[in-house]
A = this chain, B = another copy of it.
């Protein structure tokens, strides 16, 4: 019989993605080249979204000027580490993501009507799927050897005004990217036991 099962990734890969991966507060000075951000985006965009709508919009904040634009929106506890990180990704979602559906979901040209003029459907689909895409970014970054420091402690209205002034994109969360400095790590927090968050029915 043909064995069609794919094998698990190596233990080293599982460690890099999950088991040894940590949220970093401090990063080494090693830069993150634009080419690596493009390679990251090429992985992120392949992750699944509802109706392939791909609502996430991402700004990689890298220049000192852009970091200074971000600074006033950061919470006190997140400001210094974020300004020091090589890159801060702002993950937002496009409130007019349905405009791209003719390209993204070409076999069903009525898909646009599921969202256009329906703010509740736009909000739910945009928020859920840009969150999924933000998680794809975290794991794709780790797969490429980068470390992450995701945060939701910031002034969303201020980020939106500074980076999405046309009002068509809402920020969801932000994520520092770089090569993590283990010296800045806290001990890992406990996690829930299987029965505390899972059931097999």
Residues A196 and B125 in contact, CB atoms below 8 Å apart? no
| Chain A interface, DSSP helix/strand/loop, else mixed | mixed
**Residue A74 CB within 8 A of the other chain:** no
Least Cβ–Cβ distance between A199 and chain B, in angstroms: 5
Q: Which of A105-145 contact B (CB under 8 A)?
A: 105-106, 125, 127-129, 131-136, 138-140, 143-145
**Residue A58 CB within 8 A of the other chain:** yes
**Residue A83 CB within 8 A of the other chain:** no
Chain A contacts to B: CB under 8 angstroms: 4-10, 13-14, 16-19, 21, 23, 28, 30, 34, 37-38, 41-43, 45-48, 50, 52, 54, 56-63, 66, 69, 100, 103-106, 125, 127-129, 131-136, 138-140, 143-148, 150-153, 163, 172-173, 179, 189-192, 194, 196-201
Of the A-B pairs whose beta carbons lie under 8 Å apart in the complex, a sample of 16, sorted by A's number, is A4-B179, A17-B43, A17-B139, A17-B143, A18-B47, A19-B46, A34-B200, A41-B197, A48-B148, A52-B189, A58-B199, A69-B201, A100-B192, A128-B173, A131-B135, A136-B139
